[in-house]
Structure 1
Amino acid sequence: MADSDGEYISDDDHGTRSKKRTRDGKPKRNAATWETFKQTWEVPVGESAEGGRPSLEAEIRRRLAVDTEPVQRGIIRHMMLVLDMSFAMADKDLMGPNPYRLTVNYAIEFVQVFFAQNPISQLGILGLRDGLAITISRMGGNAEEHIEKLKAYRDKYDPQGNPSLQNALEMCRGSLYDTPSHGTREVLIIYGALFTIDPKDIQDTIKDLINDRIRVTIIGLAAEVHICKHICRRTNGDMDGYYRVAHHEQHFHELFLASTTPPVTRTKEQDNPSLLMMGFPSRKLAAKNTLVLCGCHSKPCREIYTCTRCQIAVCRLPIECPVCRLTLVQSTHLARSYHHIFPLRNWVAVSWAEAAAAGSVSCYSCLDPFPPIPQDTIMRAAEDLATGEDNGNSARNKAPTLIGVSESGRYACQVCRNHFCIDCDVYAHEKVHNCPGCQSDVRE
């Protein structure tokens, strides 16, 4: 019976089974299960729907595993980045649906982080395809030029041919041959293939790399390859840990960016301390309605830096003077490289008892309020303070321990003893590399 009849009684008078309709009046279809399914490469590892808190905690755990003792490192680095662009990088089983574009995108991020943490270093980029080593970007210290070349190459070419490790290493060796001895010589290879097609014996190339003091680090994307492990071990003083295979995207990202930290100087490579001449030019503006051609690119510029030795004009810093070969830098560039030698010590997790004893209610740096201290913890701390006893709750005489994530949301500097939140902890160790509490302490 039609529902326009007065005697019709609908069994859905309360609208419990009503469906949403589209603009044309048709019922709106719910999304199928396969349409809402997310692939593993679409979900960032260590992230949650609520935000990035698990990733911050994972970052702290990872950093606690790194030794922060001061060691000798080479802050003037010369690195060649080699990217596998063979047919192997088109395999969707490596890293998501397009490992080739993922690798190039990570390489762009690597260039940015590399020059942010190593501003007085130089970088060159090569590509492996058709059995040859193709120059993508020559050795230089301008991050913008490297990024532009990578983006242009990514959009123009697709993976093709087979890779050749020997050709890549020989080309890297030629690019690093004329670099000064006071800097490091490094090669970082992103390798997705399980084989290499070489024209000659690669063992001879490995011996030449050892004689030239060139270190090789390889990140594999598929599986462990014996020749890659052999190259890394021989060129790094028979030490392991320089050849790693990425398990997933996040692991690949961590291994890639880990190479931005300068390597530890080996005993055999330590030279006698010597002075390195550098110039610290000031920024100058050209005269009104005029432009000046820079000596490095021959481009008209409004703002220039004048070499302190030969007075040639350059458009950016840091750079090597194109005339007298003097290294031109700013004091901030040296300061940003200094933290690799003396890294900021890890902050310790603060327990509820320690937080109650200190009475901290907000972060010392950003003033963000901490989680409130439980009342029973406050009462126990007050009783211990009144009686002068220590029942294990007081942290005044307790040695700090690195236990990872803090239960109270507080992290204490081992020098100034101030308490900070987890966001300031990560920011201080990853960005500024200084403790706000220690920097604000005016005591002699």
Structure 2
Amino acid sequence: MAFEGLTEKLSAAFKKLRGKGRLSEADVKEAMREVRLALLEADVGYKVVKDFVAKVTERAVGADVLDSLTPAQQVVKIVNDELTALMGGTDSKLIMANSGPTVVMLVGLQGAGKTTNGAKLAGYLRRQYGKRPLLAACDVYRPAAIEQLKVVGAQLDIPVYEEGQGDPVKIAENALRHARDHGNDLLLLDTAGRLHVDEALMDELRRMKAAVHPNDILLVLDAMTGQDAVNAASAFDEALGIDGVMLTKLDGDARGGAALSIRAVTGKPIKFAGTGEKLDMIEPFHPDRMASRILGMGDMLTLIEKAQSNYDEKQAAKLEEKLRKNRFTLEDYYDQLQQLRRMGDLSQIAGMLPGLGDKLKNATIDEKALAHTEAIILSMTPREREDPSILNASRKRRIAAGSGCPVVEINRLLKQFEMMQQLTKQVTRGRFTGFGGMGHGLGKKKRKKK
């Protein structure tokens, strides 16, 4: 995940301050030296780092310490405040049209992820705001660009307007007319990119802007390109005038400096972030939440929103009734695993839990164990899922053959499920004493080599 290295280095810098009752100017400057090095290694621009460290040092030296905070916590709070301000301070939303379709023009260099992330954005706006989006294929140069947009559009059940190889500006105008005629209140234009910023690209984009008057021009940037992304943002803004940025591949091994530099260098906000390959892995960019993640303090608000968006009230009520009657089955267990999976990458979810950064840095969420559990349950008959006590040796061998898992894994799952049943009995009787063995097999600690 982006910022992982930065989070570790900042945590190490603040750890040295925790044992001190009072912080001297020398203590603060030593910590800020390490913060400066951490930010530079994360590929944040030199001038941005210099200004950031100066602001934090000015606030931290001689600052009044709040009664509820230790001096070290006060420094972390100041760094958190300044990181939030560096990334824009407040959330920035898409500019919506007062009447007619809202037109969003997606621009950027080739390979940044415009096509896929444009479809992701359309899907997100439909889910969250009930929009009726239309995707327009205005990239007529890249081989298979139109086909790619049609494929992701079909996967999300979002219509795609295309005319094949033609004039991109005319295609954009016709797409807007089509959106008005067919009741689409959101039009996303997937434009062409180049391997570098050139005048021909910019001229085409300027003509398209003049023709359709987009409400919002979003620059799509690859977080893994570091300072090159910031340079591209400056060039596009100067030549075209952008309204905001969509940062992609924040789930990769990016150092993350682009997210911290873009607002400071261009003055344009990051509005959305792509957090994974799946077509629902996109989220609004919240500067305060991202600052909290960078400092290893988690992001409970985003975690809660993810849970709520995948929450099935009818299923939850049905499960609650079963728990009251102590009738929790393997079918119910499977349904809960599916809801957990729909929330997204489990390692990202773990990183949103406050205080778990250090504890989980040497741990991996074992996705394979989850897949094995699902395969085992799906290889059972409905009766076996309802009553696992009937699983004798021959039934287990059949399930092992069907799931591709050894019998020992089936026995481990049944033991885990038995412990969970005991837990639900304790909960319903008001004698909940702890989580026992829940979660066994989902996370594994990496063993250090001797």
Which structure has the larger Rg over C-alpha atoms?
1
Normalized per residue, which structure has more helix? 2
- Which protein, 1 or 2, shows the higher relative CO under an 8 Å CA cutoff with sep ≥ 6? 2
Normalized per residue, which structure has more strand? 1
TM-score, shorter chain, exceeding 0.5: no
What is the TM-score with the length of structure 1 in the denominator?
0.30
